[in-house]
Structure 1
Amino acid sequence: MALLEVKIPPMGESISSGVLSKWHVKDGDIVKKDQPLFELETDKITSEGTAEAAGKISLKVAVGTEVKIGQAVASIDSSASAGSAAPAAAPAAESKSAAKSTEQSPAVRRVAAETGIDPATVDGSGKGGRVTKGDVLAAAEGKSAPAPTGPAPLAIPSRTAAPFPTSTPAAAPAPAASSGDRQTRKKMTPLRQKIAQRLVQAQHQAAMLTTFNEVDMSAVMDLRKKYQDDFVKKNGFKLGFMSFFTKAVVNALQEIPGINAQIDGDTIVQNNYYDIGVAVSTEKGLMVPVIRNCDQLNMAGIEKGIADVAKKARDGKITLADLDGGVFTITNGGTFGSMLSTPIINAPQSAILGLHAINDRPVAVNGQVVIRPMMYLALSYDHRLVDGKEAVTFLVKVKQAIEDPARLLLSV
């Protein structure tokens, strides 16, 4: 028997442990070389572990266990063939009924005890054939329905009884829901814990202030509508709004360099590059992958960069290199319908731009009231480093570039 240990791979000097959040295989499965085996959540990224050889796998660690870098979580018997897995599947049918009785939720067990129904005798409608609370209740109703065999006897009131009830009879109290029905508890993932720590840290350490403005999206929307088909034909993907805002931010950072800086102790660090972070919402939490050298990219390059890192983040394949650095962040709550918000700075950066939903609103243009697609902009900034004049000027520069995109070409 040739056994190969499956170990947690190294993922950078700053990561020493993580939580094994998911197994892609079951104990005893035959796996192929390079097949994904598990997902590991750390305080920064979620990564996959793959098989270094083909064979039969034996799992050593349960889902939810905190593991160290280099720890063995499974072993692979590389001498096993695909045929050796067949006998293992045979007892599955025999254990099906046992699984029904042993893998029940607290609610199912409670209802089973109250009704006298054995869950093992009930056909489950839940995931994987599991018996649900509704399945047990339905079985109980079916069991009790045939009980009456004749007409119910009439109740004749006595002469001393009141002719009409003086109060409505109280209904039989419903059984109290178990804590499993009303609440669930689960440990925060390392990634969620890190997000929470960073957000609280940013609010405690920075003198955060937010300034607002609104922008007329008509020019950008007209430009996209006019050139969208040609853009898609040439590049294979659509022209979105984020590339316009990214270019507008780079232009404003070049005009107001004080915002492209950060505080390190008692030192001001001035950044002379333009790596822009774009907040991406994933099932595991908010991530901010970085688009590098945005001042050197055209609109297509920025759109492609955003699409690539967003896909990696949502697929759980983001790397530390994708998240590292960044001098400024853009977050778009408008994709979820947010009309206005005060975004929190992504430390150690000094500012973040919040975009919001585009809504048609009446506005005054050249003395006339017209309906225009308007968006609120919010710039949160660290007042320790950035003065109000700089912040307001920066936001006005972004507004001007979006309302007149020709400014982006001329860098004015």
Structure 2
Amino acid sequence: MTIEVRVPTLGESVTEATVATWFKKPGDSVAADEMLCELETDKVTVEVPSPATGKLADIVAQEGETVGVDALLANIAEAGEAGSAKPEERPSEKPAGKEPPTEGDKTYVTVPSLGESVSEATVSTWFKKVGDSVAADEMLCELETDKVSVEVPAPVAGVLSEIIAEEGSTVDASAELAVISGSNGAIEPTPKDEETAHGKQYQEPRPGGGAQDVEDAPSAKKAMAESGVSRDQVSGSGRDGRVMKEDVARAVQAAASAPAEAAAPQASAPRAPVSADDASREERVKMTRLRQTIAKRLKDSQNTAAMLTTYNEVDMGEVMELRSQYKDEFEKKHGVRLGFMSFFTKACCHALKEVPEVNAEIDGTDIVYKNFVHMGVAAGTPTGLVVPVIRDADSMSFAEIEKAIAEKGRRARDGKLSMAEMQGGTFTLSNGGVYGSLMSSPILNPPQSGILGMHKIQQRPMVVNGEIVARPMMYLALSYDHRIVDGKGAVTFLVRVKEALEDPRRLLMDL
């Protein structure tokens, strides 16, 4: 009996995913609930367990393919039945698809299936050049869509006689990419081709370690593109030096601990004339489609809302003194450290009750007021910024808030957050101070109407009771949607947060 392995539910409004990594290959024994593969959506990673004990009979969706919810990923033969078929009778590991178009001894390489709602892609890299010998299933090029990278294998063995779509060109879902010719698509393979054709990756030493032709995990490629880490900076821990997602995370962490070079500011306006001497020392790299999409969506956020930012400053002395006095006792009783985030969460929940429009959203011509606070807490991870949501934060204690933030932070760093955990927020906290930011203007997280930016605590001279004294000060920045929040409401909200933090006893008295 054969048992099907299908794509599980991916979360609300998520309809497709990319097969990132297979942990098993056809013929391997698997136990019930053992992890078979890993899927990636726009924001989370989903592990697919085995539904039964047996052997992996075949893989239907290969790494890099885009699949929909409930799509067939693989088949498992129950214990006692797997392996009974003769090798030549085993199901093909190639995904089913149409035969490549041919003309005489020419075979046309076409764009593979890009997934639902994806109609075009960009040719990012050619791994072969015209005149090179290629083996069947050897990688020819890589395409980039808005969300995923798609590798294009050679449909037959032969010689790459023509490249139709050059690097950087945009192609639709049915376009022809190249032409393979030679002996009706079959040529005498070189030793390198023979190894590839028999499933062995041909390897040459790579300066940074690993093998030159070993294909890295799609999840690792995505992480490298998002974090800006080059392949030479990453040491692969997978089979034959293959780079995995965790390797990229380690490389990003190592780079962050090293002295950072000052980055040149990005120009949004047309470039000024550049001298020939300067041009020879520049390097131009095309933005990935993923980065282009991120840029577009961030700009859309600014264009959609009438976003405005108001600022204030808060004396953190009382909070720091209270935290210093009770932090040991707090950790001993509750098993979690007392940080600043619980104070800010409590202060914001208190202020949102007085200024409910900051906790509301616009739906068409209606304003939807929320009688609860689902607090989004922005968290930096090796692959980018995520915003897990602490639900019903207004009804939680300091200890419950600190525990929830710590748990969500760990899951975010490990890439284990589900889509549900990042949806439904009504207001957001963003703490740029942990990176040393003294002042910034946070961007709204639509459809929310407010986001509070926290910053670095710094000793500054302040006038207290007619005397100049050094006080631990923090700048606060509230970005808000002026379509729903008036200036008076925004300033009132920020003042209430300031008052609660400068006298934390007000939170206990509900003042």
Normalising to structure 2: TM-score of the pair? 0.59
Are residues 1:238 and 2:337 paired? yes
Residue 203 of structure 1, aligned match among 290, 294, 302: 302
Q: Is the 8 A contact 1:330 1:353 kept in 2?
A: yes
> Do the aligned partners of residues 80 and 386 (structure 1) sit closer, same or farther apart at CA in structure 2, a change above 3 Å counting?
same
- The residue correspondences of 1:6-405 to structure 2 (distance < 5 A) are 6-12=5-11, 14-57=13-56, 58-79=58-79, 101-102=202-203, 188=290, 193=293, 198-405=297-504
CA deviation after TM superposition for structure 1 residue 384, in Å: 1.0
Unaligned runs of 5+ in 2: 85-194, 214-234, 243-279
> Do the aligned partners of residues 130 and 206 (structure 1) sit closer, same or farther apart at CA in structure 2, a change above 3 Å counting?
closer
In the aligned structure 2, how far is the partner of 1:300 from the partner of 1:331? 20
> Do the aligned partners of residues 105 and 265 (structure 1) sit closer, same or farther apart at CA in structure 2, a change above 3 Å counting?
farther
Q: Which deviations, in whole Å up to 9, do the C-alpha atoms of 1:35-61 show, x marking residues without a partner?
A: 222222223533221111123324333
In the aligned structure 1, how far is the partner of 2:322 from the partner of 2:203? 62
Aligned residue type for 1:271: K
The residue matched to 2:290 in structure 1 has which SS?
coil
CA deviation after TM superposition for structure 1 residue 345, in Å: 0.8
> Do the aligned partners of residues 396 and 26 (structure 1) sit closer, same or farther apart at CA in structure 2, a change above 3 Å counting?
farther
In the aligned structure 1, how far is the partner of 2:27 from the partner of 2:311? 58
CA deviation after TM superposition for structure 1 residue 391, in Å: 0.9
> Do the aligned partners of residues 213 and 409 (structure 1) sit closer, same or farther apart at CA in structure 2, a change above 3 Å counting?
same
Q: Is the 8 A contact 2:11 2:420 kept in 1?
A: no
In the aligned structure 2, how far is the partner of 1:21 from the partner of 1:400? 49
How big is the alpha-carbon RMSD for the aligned residues of Structure 1 and Structure 2? 3.5
The residue matched to 1:11 in structure 2 has which SS?
coil
> Do the aligned partners of residues 253 and 109 (structure 1) sit closer, same or farther apart at CA in structure 2, a change above 3 Å counting?
closer
Report sequence identity in percent.
Answer: 50
Question: Which structure is richer in relative contact order (CA contacts within 8 A, separation 6 or more)?
Answer: 1
In the aligned structure 2, how far is the partner of 1:399 from the partner of 1:25? 55
Partner of 1:173: none
In the aligned structure 1, how far is the partner of 2:490 from the partner of 2:326? 33
The residue matched to 2:353 in structure 1 has which SS?
helix
Q: Is the 8 A contact 1:231 1:238 kept in 2?
A: yes
Q: Is the 8 A contact 2:315 2:471 kept in 1?
A: yes
In the aligned structure 1, how far is the partner of 2:32 from the partner of 2:434? 40
> Do the aligned partners of residues 109 and 196 (structure 1) sit closer, same or farther apart at CA in structure 2, a change above 3 Å counting?
closer
CA deviation after TM superposition for structure 1 residue 78, in Å: 2.6
Number of aligned pairs?
Answer: 337
Q: Is the 8 A contact 2:24 2:37 kept in 1?
A: yes
CA deviation after TM superposition for structure 1 residue 188, in Å: 2.9
Aligned residue type for 1:389: K
> Do the aligned partners of residues 64 and 372 (structure 1) sit closer, same or farther apart at CA in structure 2, a change above 3 Å counting?
farther
In the aligned structure 1, how far is the partner of 2:357 from the partner of 2:49? 45
Normalising to structure 1: TM-score of the pair? 0.72
Q: Is the 8 A contact 1:56 1:80 kept in 2?
A: no
CA deviation after TM superposition for structure 1 residue 62, in Å: 3.0
Unaligned runs of 5+ in 1: 85-94, 111-124, 132-175
The residue matched to 1:188 in structure 2 has which SS?
helix
> Do the aligned partners of residues 215 and 311 (structure 1) sit closer, same or farther apart at CA in structure 2, a change above 3 Å counting?
same
Partner of 1:158: none
Q: Which deviations, in whole Å up to 9, do the C-alpha atoms of 1:315-355 show, x marking residues without a partner?
A: 33323332232211111111222221111111111110011
